[in-house]
Amino acid sequence: MASTAVVTGGNRGIGYAVCERLAGEGFKVLLVARDPEGGARAAAGIRGDVELVTGDLSTIAAVRRLAGELRDRCPRVDVLVHNAGLWPGRRTLTEDGLEESFAVNHLAPFLLNHLLEDRLGRVVQVSAGLYVKGRAEVGRTAVGANFHQMRTYADTKLCNLLTVPLFAERWRASGITIDAVHPGVIRTGLGDRSGPVGWLLKLVKRKWAAPEEGAGPIVGLVHDETGTGRYFHLTEEVPLQGPALDGELAGRVWKEAEALTSAR
């Protein structure tokens, strides 16, 4: 029986390229996308065993519905790739009263890990080197206090990355492994803006690597089960830096996420 891989944000960019690679390797791929029409087009464009799962990662209730759908379809999730991400241009609060990128980039992976952990094998968390510029302020980052178009993205990625070693320790006895990876500066729609700034960004992005290149380090980690709790820059394991080393902060970030999601 083919191994099953779930890829969030699989309808475009790096996520789509990851789905293509894994389907080409014989995985049964569940492509998670918020937009049913765009997701269906993406799934239909990939050769192999690819199914669309429509799911929104911006609210707690929607993540729980997605987890329920995945549980109905998958007796086992051999690989879970947390790829979906949001780089906001303005402060937007979800129906839970949370800043939207905090919900998508941090809380959604946290909650999915909990809701699916009895059937997980391998988790790959797509991260970003910008985490070193972030500040994880418990009680403030969650609601977008002091929102900033650049730093808020780094804040949410730091919050998420702080939990990776804690998940590794939580799952050590069960054999589930988790690693995080920064796949490089890739030409995707992440962070696109309108107006003159948006036009300039599009020009700059022409020089960035294609999504297929970004998929390489992620797919490489899918097959690397030699460790857990690690952070990779492209294909090289590198030590965490700055606030990501703060164990006490990591504990507080974890407890906040538990409280916000009612996960245990």
Residue keyed to tokens 């797919």: 219
**Which strand (E) or helix (H) includes residue 257?**
helix 247-261
Residue keyed to tokens 């300039």: 200
Given a contact cutoff of 8 angstroms between Cβ atoms, the answer to whether 126 and 218 are in contact is yes
**Which alpha helices (DSSP H) does 120-150 contain, by range?**
none
What 3-state DSSP class applies to 18? Answer: helix
What 3-state DSSP class applies to 100? Answer: helix
- Of 82, 255, 94, 76, the closest CA to residue 162 belongs to 255
Report how far residue 99's alpha carbon sits from residue 5's, in angstroms, rounded to the nearest whole number: 29
- Of 87, 121, 97, 119, the closest CA to residue 224 belongs to 121
Given a contact cutoff of 8 angstroms between Cβ atoms, the answer to whether 58 and 66 are in contact is no
Q: Which of 16, 131, 153, 231 is catalytic?
A: 153
Whether 231 is a known active-site residue: answer no
**Given CA atoms 41, 119, 82, 93 in this order, what sign does their dihedral have?**
positive
Given a contact cutoff of 8 angstroms between Cβ atoms, the answer to whether 32 and 55 are in contact is yes
- Of 197, 88, 72, the closest CA to residue 141 belongs to 88
Catalytic residues: 153
